[in-house]
Chains A and B, each alone.
Chain A
Amino acid sequence: MYIPHTDIERQQMLDVIGVKTLEELFRDVPEEYRNPNLNLPVGQSEMEVLDQMRLLAEANNSTDDLISFLGAGAYDHFVPSAVDMLLKRGDFFSAYTPYQPEISQGTLQAIFEYQTLISNLTGMEISNASHYDGATAAAETAITAYYHFKKKRKTVVVSPFIHPDYIQVLRTYLQAIEDIQILIPDVNSPDEFLDVTPNYLNDDTALLLFQYPDFLGNLYDYTTLIEQLHQAGGLAASIVYPQVLGIMKSPAAMDADFIVGEAQSLGLPLNFGGPYIGFFTTKKEFIRKISGRIVGETIDADNKRGYVLTLTAREQHIRREKATSNICTNQGLNALAVAIYLSLLGKTGMNDVSTICYQKAHYLATQISSLKGFSIVNKAPFFNEFVIECPLDAADVNKRMAGIGILAGFDLSQFDVNRKNQLLIAVTEKSTRESMDYYVNALQEVLNA
């Protein structure tokens, strides 16, 4: 399929090349390995493939079939119709990286606007064109800090209350840089984090990485901690769930140096975990130290405004082994989706969606806490994700709830073995009062059973 050559054309082309058969074009391939048998099916038509793909899709239970209160790093927000319709434009999705800026102004300006929107949302001075996801963006803050201090500061202090996948990715990324150590403060509960962590900060601290809200949903003011960190000479990186920034203040106001995170919740469907998009914002002073593509404004030969990829001397194709990162891509189409989402919702819409998420989550939390045997664990304020303590194993609760069509939440024993009875629940604007009341009744039944 998709190969347009006719027999006549093929023959004409072979004649011009000066060979008799297609086979001759592969004479450099060692004969003993050439033309292997591929134990694979033969090609099929669109109709047949569509049927098979539909069968696979129907073999799942999606959020069409289940009521979901699962969060833990991926959130079921509503994606406005206009977002996907614009992404389907072939001039966006079938274009390449804008290396020829004169014919890529659409892509370049869209990324430039994405950079602006994300900077304004986070309150930071600049943004790059994005990383693969929130976890890799977080890992890149550690690498950036390490090289910023010219390898003289070798400790990365990491909050134990960030998403567990993010800590794993950080370990993967740093494993071959043998003089870096990852230090996780010994803290018993999130409420103690602000008090205990300063003891771990010293003149070897390159970076402190924490999350807002933290993995268990808690909101804290990190201003004092960041002050102490800066006094010790290190840099602060905060992972942020972007929806929270619709109503809550950003760690930029607490003087964070980097704000990164997962922007899936800004216009991308759940998609079983990817592709997502990691946003990366920072202060102007670090602009030459960060990795990833960056779009800048300039003028053309006629003095007309235009956009180009800039500061490319940082990147792998120029620095090669001296590049601090090998990243060669940005999540292009996904950055466009985020730009469209933020433009559509705008000032009012982002405020609305955040407020709605907050209020619905607090409604559900209140209803659950009125059930005998269940309680809310969070002592700090929370946004749209919170932890409940159950009278039985969270795994058990999940299983029973799944049986009646509800994804009850994230089983926190997978995060900390001491939290076997705890469930992390996320609420978005898609949860209705009905579905939340249904959830509460279901919990009641689980208890009675």
Chain B
Amino acid sequence: MPESTIYEISSPGRMGFKFPNLDVDSTELPESFLRDDLPLPELSELDVVRHFTNLSRLNYSIDSGFYPLGSCTMKYNPRINEVTSRLSGFCNTHPLQPIETVQGNLLLMYLLQEWLMEITGFDAATLQPAAGAHGELVGGLIIYAYHKLNKDIKRTKILIPDSAHGTNPATSNMSGFEIVSIPTDSRGNLDLDALKGLCDETVAGLMLTNPNTLGLFEEQVVQVNKIVHDAGGLVYGDGANLNALLGIVKPHDLGFDIMHINLHKTFSTPHGGGGPGSGPVVVADFLKDFLPGPIVEIIEEANDELPPLYGLVTPKHSIGRMKAFHGHFGIIVRALTYMMIQGKDGLRSVSEHAVLNANYLMARLKDTYTLPYDRICMHEFVLEGVWEDIPDVHALDIAKRLIDYGFHPPTNYFPLNVHEALMIEPTETENKDTLDRFTEVMLKIAGEAKVTPELLREAPHHAPVKRLDEVKAARELVLCCWTPNPENE
């Protein structure tokens, strides 16, 4: 049953919420500013609750099933996060309150800064960026500002691997740079010779994801970073794949200068159907003055009687503010809750088991699906979703058929340098039974592709809707639902 829209179930005169009666005298409203009509729906509370409840049931989610979306880290969202983030002492504080009245919040943010720095090995942190891409923009702008301050205006290029996520070149463009693409070699690493050839005094920096988007640890990462440094450039680390490295290695030790972190990936905060996330940025000491402000610092040291006073400070050469107020505090609370539950031992175990799960699936699938890079992988791996002898079946069809078996498909068509890519990231919160079931289904679908390929091409057959006409959606734009015309009432 398709769900009606909120306007279709609306009925004039229904009310869903009541305010207390006005307890002061009314004064006249300014006539010339009043609006004529307000085309909002009219529903009872039950109408609204039922409508959105029914909508939620059309969704697949981590709570309902396995979600092996590569590069998204769809791990379980712990419920305790939802409790701590709703504590009234957190939710009901205004960002502009005097700092003395929000020492709890500021200490919490300070602690998260400290945890992130310790895990990654960096020297300073900002919690302001609202998402990974936002953190990337911070990275791009810091590279820009750093070279500008050093009057190094020749540096107009950012080097980006051809396997990079689309936000990397988009960010570089927004940061005023030209993009130069570096190929991947046959082992799935960044092509070192190509890099050497490109590193000169026009290079501002390199954006590198490690493990990379193929799920592989860059075997020459230390050398790569050194080459860029020797040419006078900075190395920005895209931290999307940090789930493989917690307690295993500190990215700063490998030579990265700046990195963003996705709290909604690595640190279990919910994806929310597309947000809100949080993208803190950590930097090496020589870049700390460029961080976007404000960041949390101790502004008065503790003494015998009093604890330290935490405050908000804008660094000396700050690239500026990235958004209004301080950052996604509600997400920060969840991330710190998760870190405190895990502790240093738990965090390491997260990475160990994320990598174990990915390698297990890879070992079980590689004989049936083409594995372009046959090496130990990190927390995710990429398969080709196509067989030479079955030209009519593509990665998209395999993905849609998985839906019929109750699984969310892996990431499709990314990274771009693998043909018909299927990127699989199980995460550490999935048990062996789930992985085995997923393997069985993947093998079954490979069998179906040979014998009854139309089952794949017309999939999904058992979802709330079948394949949707994306061409029609783009050609005939309908971006709002039908709204009753007030003239007709």
Contacts and interface: CB of A to CB of B under 8 A. Distances in A.
B74 A96 contact: yes
Contact of B40 (A66, A121, A329): A121
A69 to B, nearest CB: 10
A163 interface: yes
A41 B343 contact: yes
B414 interface: yes
Interface string B48-70: 11011101111111111001010
Question: Which range contains the number of A residues in contact with the other chain?
Answer: 35 or more
Given A93-B77, A346-B42, A1 B346 contact: yes
Contacts of B321: 135, 165, 168-169, 172
B17 interface: yes
A344 B17 contact: yes
B97 A429 contact: no
A311 interface: yes
A39 B71 CA distance: 28
Contacts of A112: 5, 479-481
A190 to B, nearest CB: 15
B205 interface: no
A85 B392 CA distance: 46
Contact of B131 (A9, A19, A328, A335): A328
A4 B430 contact: yes
Given A2-B429, A100-B403, A333-B275, A319 B170 contact: yes
A447 interface: no
A308 B473 contact: yes
Interface in B133-157: 133-134, 136-137, 140-141, 144-145
A300 B467 CA distance: 5
A214 B77 CA distance: 40
Nearest to B78: A2
Contacts of A106: 55-59, 273
Contacts of A55: 104
Interface in B205-240: 216-217, 219, 221-222
A247 interface: yes
A25 B470 CA distance: 41
A221 B32 contact: yes
B40 A347 contact: yes
Contacts of B74: 96
B89 interface: yes
Contacts of B36: 249
A196 interface: no
B167 A316 contact: yes
Contacts of A260: none
Q: Which of B10, B342, B400 has the most CB of A within 10 A?
A: B342
Interface in A68-89: 68, 70, 72-74, 76, 78, 80, 82, 84-86, 88-89
Contacts of B83: 50
A270 B91 contact: yes
Contacts of A132: 130-131, 134, 276, 323
Contacts of A316: 133, 166-167, 169-170
Contacts of B385: none
Contacts of B19: 78, 349, 352-353, 356, 429
Nearest to A34: B249
Nearest to A55: B104
Contacts of A350: 38, 40
Contact of A363 (B24, B133, B179, B219): B24
A45 B399 CA distance: 38
B276 A333 contact: yes
B369 interface: no
B326 interface: yes
B326 to A, nearest CB: 5
Interface string A113-142: 101110111010111011011111000000
B458 A301 contact: yes
Interface string A411-444: 0000000000000000001001100100000000
Contacts of A151: none
A42 B97 CA distance: 33
Contacts of A308: 468, 470, 473
Interface string A88-115: 1111111111111111111101111101
A353 B18 CA distance: 9
A1 B16 contact: no
Contact of B90 (A271, A311, A322, A348): A271
Nearest to B435: A13
A324 to B, nearest CB: 8
A250 B102 contact: no
A18 B375 CA distance: 12
Interface stretch (B192-200, B349-357, B448-456): B349-357
Q: Which of A64, A248, A345 has the most CB of B within 10 A?
A: A345
Interface string B462-475: 01111111101110
B174 interface: yes
A448 to B, nearest CB: 23
Interface in A133-176: 133-136, 163, 165-166, 168-169, 171-173, 175-176
Contact of B468 (A43, A66, A299): A299
Contacts of B90: 56-57, 60, 62, 271-272
B253 interface: yes
A290 B422 CA distance: 30
Contacts of A335: 275
B393 interface: no
Contacts, number: 675
A102 B463 contact: yes
Given A44-B340, A60-B101, A323-B166, A310 B72 contact: no
B251 to A, nearest CB: 10
Given A113-B5, A297-B481, A308-B473, A302 B466 contact: yes
Contacts of B93: 60-63, 270-272
Given A54-B87, A93-B77, A329-B277, A115 B340 contact: no
A96 B274 contact: yes
Contacts of A274: 95, 130, 276, 323, 325-331
Given A13-B356, A92-B273, A270-B92, A103 B463 contact: yes
Contacts of A328: 131-133, 166-167
Given A30-B222, A42-B345, A163-B324, A62 B273 contact: no
Given A39-B118, A345-B17, A126 B34 contact: no
Nearest to B429: A2
A347 B42 contact: yes
Given A34-B248, A106-B55, A97 B274 contact: yes
B343 A44 contact: yes
Interface string B262-274: 0000001011111
A40 B174 contact: no
A38 B119 contact: yes
B391 interface: no
A183 interface: no
B303 interface: no
B41 interface: yes
A98 B60 CA distance: 10
B113 interface: no
Nearest to A399: B98
Nearest to A63: B92
A381 B30 contact: yes
A16 B118 CA distance: 34
Q: Which of A24, A272, A432 has the most CB of B within 10 A?
A: A272
16 contacts: A22-B356, A38-B118, A41-B340, A56-B108, A60-B104, A62-B92, A127-B480, A133-B323, A271-B91, A296-B474, A299-B472, A308-B473, A319-B166, A326-B170, A329-B275, A343-B40
List the 7 closest pairs (A to B, CB-CB), nearest first: A57-B89, A273-B325, A43-B343, A273-B95, A333-B272, A90-B63, A59-B104
Given A119-B479, A323-B166, 13 more contacts: A13-B359, A36-B250, A50-B80, A53-B87, A57-B89, A62-B90, A117-B6, A247-B34, A271-B90, A316-B170, A320-B170, A333-B270, A432-B23
